[in-house]
Each structure stands twice: as structure tokens, then as C-alpha cells.
Chains A and B, each alone.
Chain A
């Protein structure tokens, strides 16, 4: 019986594994058949990752991306060159506003393409490297946007004294372009300072980070403690994503609890991959001005004003309400049985 159950279980697992394997195989083999509704994709031609091109100062390099519409509807795709900076907690931030870095070097062969359902198109680009460009790696990107995302949202009429709100969302897909010029590979990270930031009733500890050198940092681990009068107020451990050189990071750590006026010491370290360790020993002051601003801006953004310990007490009370009558009933039943048996 047990063997039969095991065999049945095994065959179900086997069938599940086969089905999953078939699904993976079909997805890998025929992407159009598995097109999700998002539907927009961009990839460096010939590679599933980013583009890596070797160049010379004053020279020109060429590359191409493939833009795909995996959806069942026709799609107009906007293409933009981008600078790559650092997101606030590491990771590439593809910036398409005013280009000031290697994004300026790129010229796309098309800024907009119209794609039939489930079709793709190659879009080439050139990168003209300035004669005075420094050695090392320079980072740019190509960003694709479904033009339908850029249409203004339908207007919603507001009654008197009301706001009707719409949060529009834009879905961008991006591929990085690394242009490597001759020169040594160096990586570094520096801490430029620490500060307290109060906005929307939230207090944030901010660390100024400055990635340097000639190549990106693959990542870093950060570990610190906030100390007051020799006592740890709270600790923080986290990872930082990839960081390109020359783009400052304002790394924010949400303050735990409510700070009180006075000075706090921040101690710890940041361990970047491929670069020396950065020791942290900074002081920040929670001044009366910051306290007043925090007070003025109201309570921190929370979904519930009820402290978590109240929820725990309520949960315990709920359990008691269920368990107590049940226990009383069981005891009464037992004593009744005892009386009867006598």
C-alpha cells in the first residue's frame, strides 16, 4: 500500500518534472508562444547581456540592439540613448534627460520603431569617442519604451475641495553599453559624509558614497551601527548593487524608531568587491531644527497608527476567547463523566 502510494507520488513528481521541462523547453525554443502581456524587450545583438565594445579616443565603434514586441498587438517603441549613473542603493540608473556622459557619444539609427505583433527589429548605433576621453570603461545605455505608456492618462474630474489622483506608470527596458578604452583598471569607493534627512515625516540616515576609478564596482556589502552614549540604537546590514565610477550615491537608511535631539555616531564598514574596505566613523546631529521639521511634517508614513505590540495583545486575546470556553467545556464534560461513573 505504502509502496503503491510512493510509486504514485513518484510518478506524479516525474510527470510534473516532465511537464515543467517541456514548458521550459518550449519557452526557450519559441519565445513568441510565451509572450507575456508586457511584451517589450530589448537586448544587445548577439548576447543576452550588455554590449561590451573596445574603442580608442577619437575613434568610433558600432553596435546594435534588437527590439522585440512579444505581445499580440502592434507596438510603437521609442528608443533613447542614456547615461548610466548609480541608483540610490546601487545598480544602474539609465538617465535619458540631458545627457552629460557617455550617453552623448551614442547615435541611434532610429529613435522610434513600429513593430508588428510578435516581431523584432535590429537597430544599430554608433558611438563617437571624444579625442580627450580618459582611459578605462565608459558606460552608456539604450532604453526602449512602449509609446503607449507615454500617452496622457484620461482626465478625472475632481469635485470641489477634492483631488482625483492618477499615478501613471512607464515600463522601460534597458541594455547597457560598456565602451572600453585603453588604460589601467582601477576601482575605488570613498565615503564623503553622513547626514540626517527628514522628509514626509520620515527620518533617513544618508551616506554620501563616491565610486571612483576606471571600471564599475560589481557590488558592496555595508554593515554599520548607530551608537548613542555607547549604546547601539540600531544596526544596518545590506548589499549595494553595481556602481559606475564618477556618479555620486546618496545612500539612504531608514531610521528605526524616533530620534531624539543630540549627536549619534555611525560606525561600521563598506566592503566593495575589488576595492579597498571603507571604514565608517561619522557623527550626525539630530538638531532642534530637524526635530521641529519632523514634528511639523507629522507622523511617519505608516499604514497603521496602531503599534505592533497592540496587535500581539489582540491576537493573544482572540486565542484566549476561543480556547478558554473550549477548555471550560472540556473540563465540565470530564467532571460530568466522573460524576456519572460514580
Chain B
């Protein structure tokens, strides 16, 4: 039984190797009987989350407004085993383009995401950095790090409700609120 399984697995492995070689470089077949090919590296990419717009009624006192961050993912198909980091930063909020109108002490806070999961059942994914709520500003905060040999394949960070919290100060003006979150995925040094 086990011999049969190993034989079958061996044939399948050979088939996989042949298929990938054909897909990778069909023109690279050298001579009849030879299986020759080249596997090109893939890419490191990030699908950034959607962020729900919101409406808030001013109350004259400082309060928090929570909004939702959608699911996002990082895919490392480079095959290089060199890790990466994901950082996030935020611009100071503005109302109708004016920072002062956002009020004294307007802030943007992000809940640390849960550990990412892999639909392919991969292990050794990127590690989430820190915990709890963190205030965002122009200085980047690392939210996930894939150390060397980790984080390969696709890693999904789940959507969460109310995990982006905006402090609306009492002296904030009505109008159009805008802040920009910048997600940066960078290769490790």
C-alpha cells in the first residue's frame, strides 16, 4: 500500500515538475528527451484594505468615531526567502482641507490586526507587531513583519469592524473630514 502510494507520489511529483517547466518556459525545451526550463520569480504584492466612509454628528465634546477596515492581504511569490515589513502611517486629519478645523487633539488610532491566516494552510507567516490600539501619525508603525524564510505565499488579514478609531475633538468644525493612511510593504534590509 505504502509502496504504491510512494510510486504514485513519485509519478505525480515528476508530473508537477514537468508541468511547471512547461508553464515556465515552453520555448526553453532543449532537445527531445530533455526537460529544461526556467522558473521565474513571482512578486511581492499587497492588496490594501477598503476603509468605510463615515458620517458623524458633532456634539461639542470630544468623542470617538469608529469605522471599519476591510480585509487585506500580502502575497510573497518571490521565492527569495527574504522577508518584508508592512508599515502604516496617517496624515493629520483635516476638515475641508484645513488641519486646524479638525480640532485640538484630533487623532487616528488603529487596532492591531489579528494574526494573518493562510488559505493554503501555510505556516510561518508574518508576525503582527505590537498589541492593542495604536495612535497613528506621520511616523510609520510596523504592523507586520515576515522574518527571513517566513511569510511566503498569500497571507490574509481579516476585516474587522470598528478597528479604526477617530478622535473627534469638541472644537472640531463640521465639513468634510479627510485623513490618509499609507500602507508600505518593504523588503527587509
Q: Does B132 contact A (CB under 8 A)?
A: yes
Give A250 to B140 CA distance when docked, in angstroms.
11
Indicate with 1 or 0, residue by residue over B95-113, a CB within 8 angstroms of chain A CB atoms: 1000000000101110100
Q: Are A47 and B80 in contact (CB under 8 A)?
A: yes
Q: Are B58 and A141 in contact (CB under 8 A)?
A: no
Which residue of chain B has its CB nearest to the CB of A120?
B43
**Which of these, B48, B50, B187, contacts A50 with CB under 8 Å?**
B187
Give A25 to B19 CA distance when docked, in angstroms.
8
Given contacts A93-B139, A158-B174, A176 and B189 within 8 Å (CB-CB): yes
Give A37 to B20 CA distance when docked, in angstroms.
23
Q: Does A162 contact B (CB under 8 A)?
A: yes
Q: For residue A303, give the distance in angstroms from its CB to the closest CB of chain B.
A: 5
Q: Does A102 contact B (CB under 8 A)?
A: no
Q: Are B178 and A153 in contact (CB under 8 A)?
A: yes
Q: Does B47 contact A (CB under 8 A)?
A: yes
**Which of these, B8, B48, B176, contacts A169 with CB under 8 Å?**
B48
Q: Are B189 and A242 in contact (CB under 8 A)?
A: yes
Q: Are B180 and A158 in contact (CB under 8 A)?
A: no
Q: Does B164 contact A (CB under 8 A)?
A: yes
Give A4 to B134 CA distance when docked, in angstroms.
54
Indicate with 1 or 0, residue by residue over B16-42, a CB within 8 angstroms of chain A CB atoms: 110111011000000000000001111
**Which of these, B13, B58, B164, contacts A162 with CB under 8 Å?**
B58
Q: Does B171 contact A (CB under 8 A)?
A: no
Q: Are A22 and B180 in contact (CB under 8 A)?
A: no
Q: For residue B45, give the distance in angstroms from its CB to the closest CB of chain A.
A: 5
Q: Are A92 and B186 in contact (CB under 8 A)?
A: yes
Q: Does B82 contact A (CB under 8 A)?
A: yes
Q: Does B114 contact A (CB under 8 A)?
A: no
Give A21 to B5 CA distance when docked, in angstroms.
16
A21 proximity list for chain B (CB < 8 A): 13, 16
Q: For residue A181, give the distance in angstroms from its CB to the closest CB of chain B.
A: 16
Indicate with 1 or 0, residue by residue over A25-47, a CB within 8 angstroms of chain B CB atoms: 11111110010111111011001
Q: Are B19 and A94 in contact (CB under 8 A)?
A: no
Residues of A in contact, count (CB < 8 Å): 85
Interface residues of chain A: helix, strand, loop or mixed (majority)? mixed
Q: Are B109 and A28 in contact (CB under 8 A)?
A: no
Indicate with 1 or 0, residue by residue over A48-82, a CB within 8 angstroms of chain B CB atoms: 11100000000000000000101000000000000
Give A47 to B189 CA distance when docked, in angstroms.
12
Q: Does B117 contact A (CB under 8 A)?
A: no
B23 proximity list for chain A (CB < 8 A): 25-26, 29-30
Q: For residue A97, give the distance in angstroms from its CB to the closest CB of chain B.
A: 8
Q: For residue B84, give the distance in angstroms from its CB to the closest CB of chain A.
A: 9
Looking at B48, B62, B80, the one whose CB has the most chain A CB atoms below 10 A away is B48
Write the residues of chain B forming the contact surface with A, with a CB cutoff of 8 angstroms: 1, 5, 8-9, 12-13, 16-17, 19-21, 23-24, 39-51, 53-58, 61-67, 73, 75, 77-82, 85, 87, 89, 95, 105, 107-109, 111, 120-121, 127, 129-135, 139-142, 145, 153-154, 162, 164-168, 172, 174-189
Besides the contacts A14-B12, A164-B53, A167-B108, what 13 more A-B pairs have beta carbons closer than 8 Å?
A25-B23, A27-B42, A29-B21, A40-B45, A43-B44, A158-B174, A158-B176, A163-B58, A165-B67, A165-B176, A170-B183, A174-B185, A201-B167
Write the residues of chain A forming the contact surface with B, with a CB cutoff of 8 angstroms: 7, 10, 14, 18, 20-31, 34, 36-41, 43-44, 47-50, 68, 70, 84, 87-94, 139, 141, 143, 153, 155-156, 158, 160-176, 178, 199-202, 204, 216, 238-239, 241-242, 244, 250, 252, 254, 297-298, 300-303
